Amino acid sequence: MRQHDKLFIGGEWVTPAGTGTIDVINPHTEEVVGRVPDGTTEDVDRAVAAAREAFDHGPWPRMTFAERAAVLGRLAEIYAERQGEMAALITEEMGSPITFSNLAQAPQPLGMLNYYAQYGATFEQEDQRPGVFGPVTVRREPVGVVAAVVPWNVPQFVTMTKVAPALLAGCAIVLKPAPETPLDAYLLAEMVREAGVPAGVLNIVPAGREVSEHLVSHPGVDKVAFTGSTAAGRRIASICGEQLKRVSLELGGKSAAIVLDDADLTSSMGMLAIASLMNNGQACVAQTRILASRNRYDEVVDAVANMVNSQPVGDPADPATGIGPLVAKRQQERVEGYIKIGMDEGAKVVVGGLDRPYDRGWYVAPTVFANVTNEMRVAREEIFGPVLAVIPYDDEADAVRIANDSDYGLAGTVWTADTEHGMEVARQVRTGTYGVNCYMIETAAPFGGYKASGLGRELGPEGLGSYLEYKTIARLG
């Protein structure tokens, strides 16, 4: 039982304003494994005030990029030492298979810290340009106080896409972790203190939806960085738009994996297992629409079915597990609701269905649907679980059309023996990230989406740019 009775505000562990608590429940055992304070609007006000003080009067935004990069480097060293602890903690609080936690949940946030520490070491705050009318200085300054609102599925990954570049930029941050997964944020707070990040630069307040909206709309916040559902993103965008507040949104996805006729199914399915089922299917970038030509449709359906059947379902702490439980009972019921919708729409269940693998734990049967059209809800709406829909296409142009026929545009893949031709396909699909015979999120390159998948980009130089304001200084003489 991990018991926390304080909030991390102003560089100190402080007593919360309220008496409410949040229970953290292990989705495999359904037992309470942690408890943290349930933050209130008063706690948010205090956290924003601490961040404002750190930004308006503290040393952090007045340091050079290289000085801040050095602090990020120290934080990365500390993070590396506790990487295994972080991975195990995330598996415990949200059910990610330990293999995935050790592959991505902890190592990728560490990679982001290392990337921005290295990138910031030589980053220039100002550059000189000749200009049309005379010499011009372009200066980069931090945007201010950032509200970072993160989800439960990859909590440290999403946290670090915001915290690492915001810290390098010189911002102060109020981090609002999801109620399901606050424990990893407490571990991060310990590391931040040890690394010497000044007081008030990072503040952490776990809370629910109403308190989150108070944070987003707070007049002391200069920018909101949010990852989560498209519905919540629209609400946040409306608040920020009304206040003319900077905002970046990384939202949902319904990504398509195009399997071309020349693809080797054996090798493709090995990689597609990760791309489509990562984190128990609870990933916005998951390739959940599998597009197969009518020429090889039955063969691809069989290959996808065998791939899903080969994934052991069980205890996420077991290294042999491929698919673990969903994060909460409501998520289990949501995904099962979509499985029923697919059946009612006329899709054929090839693997899985509504029979639960276990009586205890928030498990669903990994499911593959065949005979799916792109108009069905299971092909259009984000399910956020281990449910795959295999959709037929007539020719390559039809496959690209189907891939693009979505409200979302976050990710996608193409599977082919001809990688150069795969690049041609990649250039035609309107998504923010894409993979040829793989899917990965590259730390040094921008990550984000088209259409309803969000606004702005994270990671890479572009990710730092979203936390900077640009000032032009013209001069005579």
Strand-strand pairing, 412-415 and 435-436: parallel
- Cβ distance 86 to 79 under 8 Å? yes
Q: Is 476:460 a contact under the CB 8 Å cutoff?
A: no
171 is catalytic: no
| Alpha-carbon gap, residue 298 to 340, rounded angstroms | 23
CA 389/CA 231 separation, integer angstroms: 23
Say what the alpha-carbon torsion angle 242, 449, 105, 223 is, to the nearest 10 degrees: -20
Active-site residue, from 92, 93, 213, 250: 250
Catalytic position from the list 284, 336, 396, 458: 284
Question: Of 339, 334, 333, 397, whose CA–CA distance to 372 is shortest?
Answer: 339
**CA–CA distance, 152 with 145 (Å, rounded to integer):** 23
365-370 and 348-353 strand pairing? antiparallel
Which region, left, alpha or beta, applies to residue 281 given φ > 0 means left and ψ of -120 to 50 means alpha? left
d(CA 68, CA 168): 6
Angle at the Cα of 176 (from 171 to 182), degrees rounded to 5?
A: 125
Query: CB of 402 within 8 A of CB of 393?
Result: yes
How many CB atoms neighbour CB 308 within 10 A?
A: 25
Phi, psi of 469 (to 5 degrees): -105, 150
Check if the beta carbon of residue 411 is closer than 8 Å to that of residue 431. yes
- Residue 240 annotated in active site: no
Please give the positions annotated as active site: 250, 284
